[in-house]
Amino acid sequence: MTPRQGAPSARGDVRPGRPAPPPGPGDWIAGQLVAEWAPTVGRILFGLVLAWFGYHELVQPSLWTGYVPVVSGSTLLVLLVLAHGWLLLVLAVAMLAGIAVRAVAAVAVVLLLQIVISLTMSNGLSDLVLRDVGVLGLAVCLTATTRQRLVLRR
């Protein structure tokens, strides 16, 4: 049965031509809960993404050397990938622990912007670039959050 056939909706029986009832107290509480915890969940998920890529750059740097732009010499490439991996891991630990979240997110924005630009210039738009643009967007959002739960404060 579809809603047009008279099935009750989630907010009760809404008939055409009548306004929907105002949100109830349960809707308000759920909205408040999401508003309070969404930045924290985003921060933790972003930290996990940084940790995942940092770990893999440290464990298998040879798989990542192809993404380093305009550098020749395999030793230098591996060193740059290892430094990048360590930076990602340090940022991930700080993000997961809630240490200087906005500053860490700002550093991650610069790092991700460099990644997006270099990938776009070398390979054009691809699914990898768009994934990184999404992660960049999350980092930008985290630079603007002023209130989060589960962070270290003075």
Q: pLDDT tens, 45-95?
A: 999 999 999 999 999 988 888 777 666 677 888 888 899 999 999 999 999
Specify the pTM.
0.75
Side-chain half-sphere exposure of 67, counting CA atoms within 13 A: 20
Q: Where are the domains of the chain?
A: 44-144
pLDDT cut 70: percent of the chain above it? 79
